[in-house]
Amino acid sequence: MRHITIVAANYRPETGAAAQRIVSIAEELVRRGWGVTIVTQLPHYPQNHIYPAYDLPSPHFSDEAGVMVIRLRPWIVPRESLLLRTLSELFFCLQALPHLLRAPTSILMASSPYMFLGPLGLFVSRIRRKTFVWDVRDLTWLYPRATGKRTFGLDKPVEQFMLWVAHRTDALTTATEGLMNYFSRRPTPSIVLANGVSDPWLERLIALRPTADADDPVVLYAGLFGYNHGLSTVVEAARLLPDITFVLAGDGPERRSLEERVHQDGLTNVEFMGYLNEKQLIEAYQESTVLVSHVRRNELYRWTQPAKLWEYMATGRPVIHAGEGEIIDILKAHSIAITVPPEQPEAMASAVHQLLANPETSIAMGQRGRDFVIRHRKRSVLLEQFVGVLDRLTTTKGQTK
């Protein structure tokens, strides 16, 4: 049997984009007859504490839908500290190392957002003479520079090291064309594995009733409260539309400051729902009228395509995205969202007003978005090329478990 071992920071029951993607990959490979081992952490993201039902001895081994899952206890540190977060990531790498060294496997794969998993995977693969695949979804080593944090000159050598690692992998996957182009020296094969929606989750989302003109419209943001999401712009848009309810659902490092800002300013039309499980998220989508997304203005973020956009569209609701780069070209080309410049609350507020004032246009846009996701962002379809690459790698290398 062909076997793949994947090391990734997040896995089910976490519901973020990273966890959902790895779950889909693992279970699709099992369906195709692969043996799959996942080395991950006890679930704790994005709340930054271990889920109560998963506060288990470490390492913890379990068979989940045919996938062998090895969970390790994370070192949970304050999200505001770049140094401690880096050390926490390295701690996970050290814990994962012995499991990667002895897991029966043909292919080793490391997936971001943890950047040091790439070098770890390359190191282990060369010791074991196995094929290595690096799945790069975020250029996290560039984020400190983008957010203005002090790096003491370490960002440049770290970046060169990551580029060196990418050049020496056996295969590279990225989420967007922009990310792929960043790696000017890359292995063959290298493929863009776009973000999408897992098949079971897609079925639940498209089963939602279509949006309609609401007497009490709700504008919803659902996702991570991170620096790059710039959710203060959404709060300022809400200030300009005091008669419309804005709901911010999720968690992350920026949540507390946003809640304090809303409280201090006395904004009564902004509500926070915290982290939502799948059932709660479905309910939030059902009650929403318009879905919004925002990414700060920065050259780095021009390469990103927020995974939440495809989930949003699958609900059939109209979507507003504030951002730049290749995602804007896609949304405009297919008329599946209203796009506005980032960090301009007036533009976002105007787009919300436009959608609410034209319910027929909103419904039509929502349907186009849903149809686009079904045709082009269904995870099982997106994985076809990726699985083909893995098949070729095992044939070419002639490796067995």
Q: What per-residue confidence (pLDDT) applies to 214?
A: 66
Q: Give the 3-state secondary structure of the chain.
A: CCEEEEECCCCCCCCCHHHHHHHHHHHHHHHCCCEEEEEEECCCCCCCCCCHHHCCCCCEEEEECCEEEEEECCCCCCCCCHHHHHHHHHHHHHHHHHHHHHCCCCEEEEECCCCCHHHHHHHHHHHHCCEEEEEECCCHHHHHHHCCCCCCCCHHHHHHHHHHHHHHCCEEEECCHHHHHHCCCCCCCEEECCCCECHHHHHHHHCCCCCCCCCCCEEEEEEECCHHHCCHHHHHHHHHCCCCEEEEEEECCCHHHHHHHHHHHCCCCEEEEECCCHHHHHHHHHHCCEEEEECCCCHHHHHCCCCHHHHHHHCCCCEEEECCCHHHHHHHHHCCCEEECCCCHHHHHHHHHHHHHCHHHHHHHHHHHHHHHHHHCEHHHHHHHHHHHHHHHHHHHCCCC
pLDDT of residue 300: 83
pLDDT mean across residues, the chain: 93
Q: Which residue has the higher pLDDT, 18 or 70?
A: 70
Per-residue model confidence (pLDDT) at position 83: 87
- Say yes or no: domain 3-196+379-397 is CATH 3.30.460.10: no
Which of 91-105, 288-302, 357-371, 387-401 is least confident?
387-401
Q: What is the pLDDT of residues 372-388, one digit of tens each?
A: 999 999 999 999 999 99
Q: What is the mean pLDDT of residues 299-310?
A: 89
- Say how far apart CA 332 and CA 283 lie, in whole Å: 29
Tokens encoding 70: 């090895």
pLDDT exceeds 60 at position 257? yes
Q: Domain residues of the chain, as ranges? A: 3-196+379-397, 199-376
Q: Per-residue pLDDT averaged across 53-65, rounded?
A: 95
What average pLDDT does the segment 306-313 reach? Answer: 95
Decide whether 3-196+379-397 matches 199-376 in CATH topology: yes
Q: Which region among 46-50, 106-110, 220-224, 346-350 has the lowest average model confidence (pLDDT)?
A: 46-50
Contact 159, 115 (CB under 8 A): no
Q: With respect to CATH, is domain 199-376 assigned 2.60.40.1530?
A: no
Compute, in degrees rounded to 10, the torsion defined by CA atoms 316, 321, 327, 330: 50
pLDDT at position 227, please?
87
Neighbours of 335 (CB within 10 A): 12
